[in-house]
Amino acid sequence: MINNYKTFGTVRFVVDCVLLSFHNDQLEVFLVSENRVDNWDHIKGNIDIDGTLNEGVQEMLKRETDIDNVSVHQLITEKSFNHYLNEYILKVTYFSLVTKELWNSKLINSALGRWFPIKDLPTCKNNSIKLINLLIVKLKNQGMFSPVILELLPEKFTIKQLHDLYEQIYSKEIDKRNFIRKITAVDCIIKLDIKDKIISRKGAYLYTINWERLKAEKLLQLKLV
């Protein structure tokens, strides 16, 4: 068999990761900057070619932010060629949706990083803005009960929190009655016998997600709008 493959130098693997959170009724992204003034950017770094890409990005997150055991999802893969170094650069961008309460104690101590609301970003590098916008578009294209979106919620949440999350993702007002009707029509969102009384004295019932039932009912592609 004739080998038609050609070899051009070496390959360097680079991973980027956009960390997104939902806190205080708004979407926030974690950015880093060497001077904490401008040129804010998402987290990035080189990885060892041993193991899988998912393992590599997990190791990079642990090294750069000290967080671990978070789910990561591929966003986009890009390649380029450095003629000076005679090497290919394969860059894989991931995103991770984390509850801010869970990881804030570690990320808040990062000397170079901060959480920023999506609607009020600082001066960022162009590529970082592009990836953040691409991530929001990806979330909009997810189904209403996609785990990729629901990962942003705490284990126990109110209907208001869920409603506010979708309004943030779609950047539009969503009719509350229609929203509640769709939510209560399925059995994967479980109403608990406890209330969150932080917002009001009367309190709002808390809900949780039955992940097994969610997958069994094949609701992952159900659209909200």
Each residue's pLDDT, cut to its tens digit, for the chain (225 residues) gives 445 545 556 877 788 899 999 988 889 998 988 777 778 998 887 777 677 888 888 888 888 777 777 888 999 988 888 778 788 888 889 999 887 666 655 555 455 688 899 989 988 887 889 999 999 999 988 777 777 788 888 889 999 999 999 999 988 898 999 888 888 777 788 899 988 877 666 788 899 988 887 776 655 555 555
Domain ranges, ordered by start, for the chain:
10-140, 147-216
Can you name the residues that pair with 116 across neighbouring β-strands?
A: 29
DSSP E strands in 64-216: the ranges are: 73-82, 87-97, 113-117, 189-196, 204-209
pTM (predicted TM-score): 0.81
How confident is the model at residue 60, as a pLDDT? 84
For residues 103 and 115, the answer to whether their CB atoms sit within 8 Å is no
DSSP state of 51: S
Residues 117 and 55: their CA atoms lie apart, in Å, by 28
pLDDT at position 5:
45
Q: 147-216 belongs to which CATH class?
A: mainly alpha
What is the tens place of the pLDDT at every residue in 27-38?
A: 999 898 877 777
In whole angstroms, give the CA distance from residue 160 to residue 25. 9
pLDDT of residue 102: 60
Domain 10-140, classified CATH 1.10.10.10, yes or no: no
> What is the pLDDT at residue 108?
52
What pLDDT, in 10s, does the model give residues 168-186? 998 889 899 988 888 877 7
**DSSP-derived secondary structure letter, 83:** T
162: left (phi over 0), alpha (psi -120 to 50) or beta: alpha
pLDDT, position 13: 78
Structure tokens at 90: 């394969």
Q: How far apart are CA 57 and CA 46, in angstroms?
A: 9
What token pair was written down for 60? 């990079």
Q: What angle do CA 213, 218, 223 make, to 5 degrees?
A: 115
From the list 19, 27, 23, the residue with the least C-alpha distance to 171 is 27
Residue type, 130: K
CA-based nearest residue to 59, from 13, 99, 6, 117: 13
